[in-house]
A and B are shown apart, each in its own frame.
Chain A
Amino acid sequence: MWPTIFEFNWDTGHMIFLGVFYSVLIVIATALVYVSARSIIETFNGHEDGHHSGAGAVPETSEEIAGSD
């Protein structure tokens, strides 16, 4: 998992596999940090009424969902 671990080699397999794995972890961690930071800011600065945090791209109300049937 780390270059310091016994039997770790800087070979193609390790670089590709762990490179992709760590990329995925970085994406998840970045998203979580962004959400946490934004939530902390909104907690202290207040939250605008009717604001839906960018989720407006998907149907929110039952009427909208029903309309897509």
Chain B
Amino acid sequence: MSSANELPQLERCSNKKFLLWISFWALLLLWGLFGAFLCLFKGLNQTGMNNYFVFGLWITVDLAVIGLGAGAFFSGFLFYVLKVDYLKELIGAAVVIGFICYSGAVGMLTIDIGQPLRGYFSFWHANVHSMLTEVIFCITTYLFVLTIEFVPLITENKTIREIAFLRYFGENLHGIMVVFALVGTFLSFFHQGSLGGMFGVLFARPFSYRSGIAIWPWTFFLSILSAIAAGPSLTTLVVWTTQKLTGRRLVSRSTLSRLAKLSAILLVVYLVLKAADTIYWANVTAPSMGFKFTSFYRPPYGMWLLFCEFYLFGLVPAIILLIPKARDTDFWLVIGCLFTCAGIVINRFSLAIQTSAIPVLPFERFMIYHPTWQEWSIVGAIIGYGVIVFSLAYRYLHLFPREHELNGSNIS
């Protein structure tokens, strides 16, 4: 955090250009709000979910964005607790991305539960034996923590700084941010884990059931690992894209490469453990429940999903980002980070959709899930909302502390 007289005036596009940019995403947001209205007014019959697919597109996207939003807690932990200083360049952006991911996920869950007015039931009548309870408690609390982490960025705004109390509040909050970083790490560790763990404990669903340690199935730990591997990749992608769209250098190139390398190392650790888990599950767990490994993979959810998750969007980006020359090249950096993010989306898709598609009773058949336009519209709304919030944050807040220095000649 900088003091008022240190804050530079940064060059931004004209209001007209900005409004034009925002209006496209606002239309997407409005389309989603219309879809949400239909779902709330007419009910969940507006969706493709049914008695087979109680988790649909929204849960898949929820799991994915929460996993990808892990960049916020992981960067915060590395920066505030472990003092990895180079992350200072983009810690603000990581917090905003995390805030967008979590608030978007909570917004989507509000529609998904069908009757938002009864949303408080999960707190009030907490079922402490359900991993979903842990997830809902941790996600909402962590969203609150992310909001707190967002406040110092907002209070750095030139106009807001003129109000003494808000200025001091932001600075004091920043001063003890390590507390919130630790709380955020604690909360994230459990809800990231439980989001994977809740599938691992489904004894009646042999596709996702896993053995584990005590009450935690292996998917609990794999979920955390995959999230902290993919989170930095999304942060890298967003920062890189912002640089390209604005035509300004926001962070040093070496920082993006270092973040991508960190992502790749964690991805390799995740892939090794995931491979071990899959081999054990395919050869021991599933056969012990009367299932053959190959029986789980049928069109359209065939072996290609496993291939994509492990190789195309797993091993390939890990190798790309581990090669110094490749990650120092923009093209390969983007491909590597994009593929890493795609990998986590496919993993969450398999957990949420494929698990429900596979028959577990003799009279059941292999099911296919078709999301409706209303479901897609709400996903679109989350994307629109995210772009709008990040654009506003970039335009009005001081997200990148080195922007002034890296664009010395263009300062207005």
Residues on A facing B (Cβ under 8 Å): 1, 5-7, 13-14, 16-18, 21, 24-25, 27-28, 31-32, 34-36, 38-40, 42-43, 47, 50, 52-55, 57-62, 64-66, 68-69
Residues of B within 8 A of A6 (CB): 125
Closest B residue to A16 by beta carbon equals B128
Q: Are B171 and A24 in contact (CB under 8 A)?
A: no
Say which one of B16-24, B92-100, B141-149, B205-213 lies at the interface with A: B141-149
Q: Is B174 an interface position by the 8 A CB rule?
A: yes
Given A18-B126, A55-B1, also A62-B402 (CB < 8 A) = yes
Residues of A within 8 A of B129 (CB): 13
Residues of A within 8 A of B137 (CB): 21
Residues of A within 8 A of B124 (CB): 1, 5
Given A32-B148, A39-B169, A65-B89, also A54-B175 (CB < 8 A) = yes
> How distant is the Cα of A33 from the Cα of B176 in the complex, in angstroms?
12
> How distant is the Cα of A64 from the Cα of B86 in the complex, in angstroms?
10
Q: Are A66 and B402 in contact (CB under 8 A)?
A: yes
**Partner pick for A28 among B3, B88, B89, B183, CB 8 A cutoff:** B183
Closest A residue to B79 by beta carbon equals A58
Most chain-A Cβ atoms within 10 A of its Cβ — which of B6, B85, B255?
Answer: B85
Given A24-B187, A35-B169, A53-B171, also A58-B176 (CB < 8 A) = no
Q: Are B165 and A25 in contact (CB under 8 A)?
A: no
Q: How far is the CB of A55 from chain B (nearest CB, A)?
A: 5
Residues of B within 8 A of A58 (CB): 79-80, 83, 85, 88
Residues of B within 8 A of A57 (CB): 83
> How distant is the Cα of A36 from the Cα of B129 in the complex, in angstroms?
37
Residues of A within 8 A of B254 (CB): 69
Q: Are B89 and A31 in contact (CB under 8 A)?
A: no
Residues of B within 8 A of A50 (CB): 3
Residues of B within 8 A of A64 (CB): 85
Q: Are B128 and A18 in contact (CB under 8 A)?
A: yes
Q: Are B172 and A38 in contact (CB under 8 A)?
A: yes
